[in-house]
Amino acid sequence: MTAPGDNVDQDAMADAWASAMGGDGGDGDGGGEETDEGDDLAAEWAAMLESGSGSGGDASTGSARESTRVLNQDEIDSLLGFDDDLDESDQKSGIQAILNSALVSYERLPMLEVVFDRLVRLMSTSLRNFTSDNVEVSLDNITSIRFGDYLNSIPLPAMLSVVKAEEWDNYALLTVDSSLIYSIVDVLLGGRRGTAAMRIEGRPYTTIERSLVERMVHVVLSDLSGAFEPLSPVTFRFDRIETNPRFATISRPSNAAIVARLRIDMEDRGGQMELLLPYATLEPVRELLLQSFMGEKFGRDSIWETHLAEELWMTEVELEAVLDTQTMRLGEVFGWNVGSHIDLGATPESQVTLFCGDVPMYLGRMGRKADQIAIRIHGRYEKPKE
């Protein structure tokens, strides 16, 4: 332990040491460098005395100073999961890992990428015919997001089209941003090329603007139905247009959804369009979206289909001819002996049923051909109407 008086003496010694170093540095040619070194030594000596007095006088004060240590930038990046070394190895840590674990990866539906690639090609042709202009459509990315987070991230003003998938009995969302809205209006109303579309923010969209955007949405929905047609026939029907995201709620905020961002460029004009498909909407075709594919055959291989069909035609099938069926008690069956007779209710003119396993297939009549008993088929077996 150090007495309180010693702390005072040590502080005085530090002040004297600092003044002595400063006085010595004023003489001679190298006084400037010695003064800097003396100041550094004095500051270090004062810090050592301060830490020593804090640990000797009050232990709780020293522990409090240690607990309030400030993190440097590298430690903060590591805590948040933005470390460069971890990014190169595709391993997330910290808060970033917690956020990524809550997302659902769209890569579990590989066939969906083929559908969106087909949609881009179809839209490039249809929008060129619709606008009579050079239109380039590109797919920016496909991501997974919670529905509530997507509604909060929509940049306003925008038009949100609520779409219903008729065969799947569920809804989707098509968002058109303000840049694309003004560009489409400018193109359809004869705006000059080479000038960007004029934006007027802070006002609601007019009836003409809504009508023109609705026509474009109908074109896109027709292409979207055509993109899904080789996989599963579905009709996307336009329901309504909303400008407030709260009125375009088609799913619970916590439900996962897939968002495909499309970029539409018309020379120096254009904008973005986003298609949101909740996982609940894709559930009826989930098995089809999970299958592997080669090229754009949508999971089908015509070579194997042809080979399997040819082999099926060459398969041998056993048929059983049933002359008559009778229902008897089990006691009568146990009473059978060698030489017992069973009278069948069939005559030479009765029809015989041919079975393949337990399935009745044909009806015919029994006869003889050479030394073999044969059956001439008269037609297919028809199930009796109830």
Domain count, the chain: 3
**Boundary-marking domain end, from 268, 290, 312:** 290
Task: Kindly give, in sequence order, each residue whose CB lies less than 8 Å from that of residue 283, ignoring residues fewer than 6 positions away.
Answer: 168, 170
How far apart CA 157 and CA 59 sit, in angstroms, is: 60
Domain that holds residue 50: 4-67
For residues 347 and 262, membership in a common domain is answered with: no
For residues 173 and 274, membership in a common domain is answered with: yes
Sheet with 256-266, strands from edge to edge, namely: 136-146, 256-266, 269-278, 170-177, 158-165, 236-242
How far apart CA 327 and CA 337 sit, in angstroms, is: 18
**Boundary-marking domain end, from 290, 307, 329:** 290
The answer as to whether 298 is a domain residue is: no
Chain centre to alpha carbon of residue 36: 62
**Boundary-marking domain end, from 251, 272, 290:** 290
For residues 45 and 122, membership in a common domain is answered with: no
How far apart CA 137 and CA 130 sit, in angstroms, is: 13
C-alpha separations of 162 from 109, 168, 247, 344 in Å: 23, 15, 10, 69
> Tens-digit pLDDT profile for the chain (386 aa)?
444 445 556 666 666 655 655 544 444 444 444 455 556 666 666 665 555 544 444 544 454 455 567 777 777 777 666 655 544 444 555 566 666 555 555 557 788 888 899 999 999 999 999 988 888 999 988 888 888 888 888 888 889 999 999 999 999 999 999 888 888 888 888 876 656 555 666 678 888 989 999 999 999 999 999 999 888 889 999 999 988 888 888 888 888 899 999 999 987 788 899 999 998 898 888 888 877 654 445 556 678 888 888 888 888 888 888 888 888 888 888 888 888 888 877 777 788 888 888 888 888 888 888 888 888 888 888 877 76
The answer as to whether 247 is a domain residue is: yes
The answer as to whether 300 is a domain residue is: no
The answer as to whether 93 is a domain residue is: no
For residues 54 and 125, membership in a common domain is answered with: no
Q: Return the closest-CA partner of residue 178 out of 158, 196, 150, 198.
A: 158
